[in-house]
Amino acid sequence: MEDLLLTAAQFINTTSSHIFLTGKAGTGKTTFLKNLKSVTHKSFIVVAPTGIAALNAGGVTIHSQFLLPPATFLPDRFLPVNFSEGGNFINQNVLAQKHPMNSVRKQVLRSIDLLVIDEVSMLRADLLDAIDYRMKAARNNFKQSFGGVQVLFIGDLYQLSPVVRQSEKETLSKYYNSFWFYEAKALQNNQPVYIELTKIFRQHDPYFIGILNNLRHNLATHENIDILNQYFKTEAEIGSLSEVVTLTTHNAKADEINLRELKKLTTPSHIFKARLEGEFPESLFPVSPNIELKVGAQIMFTRNDNEEKMYFNGKLATVTEIKDDEVKVELAETHQPYGLKRERWENKKYTLNKTTNTLDDEVVGTFEQFPIKLAWAITIHKSQGLTFDKAIIDVGHAFADGQVYVALSRLRSLHGLSLRTRIPPTVISTDKQVVEYTNANHKPDEMGNTMKAHQQVFIQHLIDSTFDFSVLIKIIHWAVKEPIGLEKETMEGMKSVPTQIAEALQAERANTDRFRIQLAGLLTANEPDRFLERIEKGCAYYKNILLQCLEKLLRHKAEMSHQKRIKTYLNNLSEIDQALSKQIETVDKSRYLASGILKGEDKFDFELLTAQRIAKRKEIEARINREIKPIERKAKKKKKNQTDELSTYDTTLQMLNSGMDVKQIAKERGLVPSTIEGHLAKAVEAGRISIYKFIDEPSVAEVVNAREQLHEGFTSKDLYEMLKGKFSYGQLRAVTNHLMLQNSDNKK
């Protein structure tokens, strides 16, 4: 790994600074993101501005994660009375009142230490300020940008730029100097550390790299342009080329070329339809849901082959045979035969594991299709991230900053370049503000001193977040301020437990204030041994207090679970539970982080600590369950005219018992299979059905065997990935519930 990639990982692990990881095309930004889970101890989610970018990054879209409407955000508490032009504008008040976030999303945002935003060149400043507000509101922390969460920005400002409609420009210009993400109000006093990757893995020819660098920085010479234009070819010469794709500036032009070339083929046409399951909106489709192919068609792969390594994202091939659902192609350059295989894309959402209160992700929909598209032509915009051995480039009508650079940087070398039109100097442009921003922030020689300074700030941040319960107290008060649905005679009693917890934490305020001052003094005085001794004792003391609060809360939740009409109140208790569990995690990790940073360490493994916290929670819950017996209720008699209505849960069970399988039930009820599997997993947990009613014995055994091979404290995502997506999350939950029921029965 390049030294700068190691530096980026160290900044993430040992500071709380926002980071902008950038670099030329082909320098390893995407690879770093895909490997992030293995290099950081921090809990994180990944978001991106568009659906395709989110899929490629393994995350979700910004708008879906933060429940943002398709509108222009103004960083102003009050919307101006008069606008100079029409438009759809929102602010903090509109978001809070008309688009509130639900409990699940807020808990997810409270659980993370790091927010990763990919493809930030497309991220507008106003959208970033909307994210900042959502983070602050969810975490009840308006003092720090993004509610105290570290943000990792990944992207290249010299490539795709943010899109701003003409109707928005005048109004947004009143708030921002430009529309790039770094102009956001959230970053005014907290600019990200700038880390630019320099080692290029795509190109190896220093001469070509030099031309690309000049194009990138608006420094292209007449000599550079003349050299590029030597690769101009006439239409006749281009017509004789094979196994080559055209990169053009406009969608209409690319579509026209592809349709024209497909129609030229006299072989029969075949349509291959995607297989969709669950929630997978059209905006996320990674390829066409209906791919039309003919023998002789030129196609391009749109993702990497991670198993056989036969192709990569951007690899060309020609269709040689089509039979039923089988398609055979010949790979460009190597001319190897290859049978196409459908690939699976997943639409997921971030959730919290209810058992461990740790971050998890749930697959809510899938899209299966051949990972290809017709590829006689493709737009420069859609070539982002692709690599070509050969390409015909048509940039005579380039209309956006950086288009010429993006197109040329897709190629491995100049030898693969063919120009359909000569490149006029007038179409080569880079936003001057981007060049100024880069020049002002790219300071690789100062990286060492910057790291040390930010580590000191991080240790102070650790002290403040570990030994200050004010945010946690705010969350408790907010969660129970209006306990809807409680019976009047028991309301005061129910409110008392959260209030008792808040008061117990508030009672420590004077101690925590003194303790933070003491630790800050030892840190400033450069007394690391005394500092670490005090922080270790403080962590042990406050962890004990927090665990007592957690046990009191879990006992209260268990008692209240038998009450009626208190679903909202129980949801509020779950929010307190998650916030309290996160505070315990913070206390648990801080002493090791502070010690490691002061000793110069940059890698941390907290799996054992996580497993110990999970075990401690289970121990507390088991003790509470032994002490609290379920309250038996007498069923109310129905009135004579009252009809029997089955719950959605009971309806699913009735249909299963009638002999229908999961897919049949889902189709009959107009639901997705994952919802039906959720009903059945719940039924297994309640002991109402045997798991073997809908999952066969060998499959259950396979899942159980996989669970035994994973480390303690593993997540459902770990299990899903180990089994390579063979079983759905609903099926995995059902097996987990089956095992828990077995263990419970064995203990009786």
The per-residue pLDDT for range 489-532, each reduced to its tens digit, is 444 444 568 989 999 999 999 999 999 999 999 999 999 999 99
What average pLDDT does the segment 355-373 reach? 87
Classified as helix, coil or strand, 626 is: helix
| Average pLDDT of span 576-588 | 94
Name which residue leads in pLDDT, 659 or 184.
184
Token pair 């010479």 is found at 221
Comparing CA positions, the residue from 417, 333, 317 lying closest to residue 376 is 317
Q: What angle do CA 720, 721, 726 make, to 5 degrees?
A: 60
Q: What one-character DSSP code corresponds to residue 180? A: B
Per-residue pLDDT for 400 more than 70?
Answer: no
State the pLDDT at residue 76: 84
- Categorize the per-residue pLDDT at 84 as very low, low, confident or very high, splitting at 50, 70 and 90: very low
Question: At 320, is the secondary structure helix, strand, or coil?
Answer: strand
> At 483, is the pLDDT very low, low, confident or very high (cuts 50, 70, 90)?
very low
Nearest residue to 60 (alpha-carbon basis) of 302, 285, 345, 349: 349
**Rounded mean pLDDT, 235-241:** 89
What does the block give as tokens for 596? 């490691």
Query: If you average pLDDT over residues 337-365, what whole number do you get?
Result: 86
Of 162, 164, 151, nearest in space to 117 by CA: 151
Q: Which amino acid is at 564?
A: K
Q: Which of 129-138, 422-431, 497-506, 627-636 has the highest mean pLDDT?
A: 129-138
Cα–Cα distance measured from residue 532 to residue 513, given in angstroms and rounded to the nearest whole number: 18
Residue 595 three-state SS: helix
Q: Which pLDDT score, from 0 to 100, does residue 716 have?
A: 73
Mean pLDDT of 303-311: 85
pTM (two decimals): 0.75
On whether the CB atoms of residues 151 and 11 are closer than 8 A, the answer is no
H or E stretch at 90: strand 89-90
Which pLDDT band holds residue 202 (cuts at 50, 70, 90)? low
- Amino acid occupying residue 148: G
∠ CA 72-77-83, rounded to 5°: 50
Q: What percent of the chain has pLDDT over 70?
A: 90
Return the minimum-mean-pLDDT range out of 203-212, 509-518, 529-538.
Answer: 203-212
Q: What are phi and psi of 293, to 5 degrees?
A: -130, 150
pLDDT at 629: 65
Q: What is the pLDDT of residue 418?
A: 94
Cβ-contact 18, 144 below 8 angstroms: no
Lowest mean pLDDT among 27-31, 253-257, 456-460, 498-502: 27-31
Confidence of residue 77 (pLDDT cuts 50, 70, 90): confident
Return phi, psi of residue 411, to 5°. Answer: -85, 150
The three-state secondary structure class of 325 is coil
pLDDT confidence bin for 748, thresholds 50/70/90: low
Instruction: Give the chain's largest Cα–Cα span.
Output: 93
User: φ, ψ for residue 197 (rounded to 5)?
Assistant: -75, 140
Let me know: does 233 contact 419? Beta carbons within 8 Å. Answer: yes
Give the mean model confidence (pLDDT) for residues 330-342: 93
Nearest 5 degrees, angle CA 546-CA 552-CA 555? Answer: 140
**Please, which pLDDT band fits residue 639 given cuts at 50, 70 and 90?**
very low
Of 433-442, 478-487, 592-601, 681-690, which range is least confident?
478-487
Q: CA-CA distance, 62 to 50, in Å (whole number)?
A: 8
Residue with tokens 């700068």: 4
pLDDT band at residue 423, thresholds of 50, 70 and 90? confident
Average pLDDT over residues 466-479: 90
H or E stretch covering 540:
helix 528-560
pLDDT of residue 175: 93
* pLDDT at 598 exceeding the cut of 90: yes
- Average pLDDT, integer, range 586-601: 93
Beta-carbon neighbour count of residue 586 at 10 Å?
A: 20
Could you identify the residue written with the tokens 């936003």?
Answer: 431
| pLDDT score recorded for residue 330 | 95
Strand ranges (E), 222-325 = 245-248, 270-273, 275-278, 290-293, 298-301, 316-323
Nearest alpha-carbon partner for 345 in 119, 62, 58, 728? 58
State mean pLDDT over 687-697.
87
368 CA to centre of own chain:
21
Percent of the chain beyond pLDDT 90? 42
Nearest in space to 110 (alpha carbons), one of 480, 505, 474, 509? 474
Mean pLDDT of the chain: 86
Cα 726 to Cα 744: distance, rounded to the nearest angstrom: 28
Report d(CA 18, CA 641) in Å as an integer. Answer: 64
- 144 pLDDT band, cuts 50/70/90, is very high
- When pLDDT is cut at 50, 70 and 90, the band that residue 216 belongs to is confident
Q: Which two tokens stand for residue 198?
A: 């320099």
* Confidence tier at 421 by pLDDT (50, 70, 90): confident
Weakest mean pLDDT among 184-193, 506-515, 568-577: 568-577
pLDDT grade for 88, boundaries at 50, 70 and 90: confident
Q: What is the pLDDT of residue 190?
A: 92
| Whether the Cβ atoms of residue 414 and residue 440 lie closer than 8 Å to each other | no
More confidently predicted of 538 and 743: 538
What is the distance in angstroms between the CA of the first residue and the CA of the last residue of the chain?
53
Q: Are strands 326-331 and 337-339 parallel, antiparallel or unpaired?
A: antiparallel
State the alpha helices, DSSP H only, in 410-527.
Answer: 432-441, 447-466, 470-479, 488-506, 509-524
